[in-house]
């Protein structure tokens, strides 16, 4: 007698699970902010370096910028003078590489309005200075982003 009741209950549970899974797949909408591990708002211009501290750096990340076309064009026209320097990395090793503003094929491509600047890898948080020589006036605000795969926790 108990077996007769168990089979319909098991079928209801399985059907409920299948319907839930199918609904979630059909209603999935990608979240562009899922590609951002951390973001800092800065002002670009006046030949002043920008200091940024990210605490969520663990492994490799792409560092990008989300800004107006005016800010991007000023940065791109002065790209050869773009320099990045580590200021402080606690006692853990960190490395900056692949300084190539506008590079295609990085996690930055997935963030609306963002463009790649360079890669950074570290075991803990990182503090760096971003300098662009030749921008003599204040050109505007920007958001420096730490881009990652949404599959990885920050």
The domains of the chain are located at: 32-147
SS3 128: strand
Give the span between the Cα atoms of 122 and 120, in whole angstroms: 7
CA angle 136, 141, 147 (to 5 degrees): 115
The CATH class of 32-147 is: mainly beta
Give the span between the Cα atoms of 135 and 82, in whole angstroms: 11
Give the span between the Cα atoms of 106 and 150, in whole angstroms: 13
- Each residue's pLDDT, cut to its tens digit, for the chain (154 residues) gives 555 555 566 677 788 888 888 777 766 555 556 788 888 888 877 677 888 888 767 777 888 998 888 888 877 777 667 788 888 656 777 888 888 888 888 888 888 888 999 888 887 777 788 877 766 566 778 888 888 776 654 4
- What pTM was estimated for this model as a whole? 0.71
């Amino acid at each position: 007698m108990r077996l007769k009741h168990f089979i319909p209950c098991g079928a209801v549970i399985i059907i409920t699970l299948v319907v839930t899974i199918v609904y979630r797949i059909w209603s999935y909408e990608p979240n562009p902010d899922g590609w951002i591990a951390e973001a800092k708002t800065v002002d670009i211009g006046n030949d002043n370096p920008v200091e940024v501290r990210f605490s969520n750096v663990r492994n490799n990340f792409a560092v990008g910028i989300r800004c107006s076309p005016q800010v991007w064009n000023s940065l791109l026209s002065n790209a050869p003078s773009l320099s990045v320097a580590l200021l402080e990395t606690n006692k853990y090793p960190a490395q900056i590489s692949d300084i190539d503003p506008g590079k295609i094929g990085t996690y930055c491509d997935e963030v609306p309005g963002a463009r790649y600047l360079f890669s950074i890898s570290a075991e803990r948080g990182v503090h760096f200075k971003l300098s662009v020589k030749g921008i003599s006036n204040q050109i505007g605000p920007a958001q420096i982003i730490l881009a990652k795969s949404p599959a990885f926790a920050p």
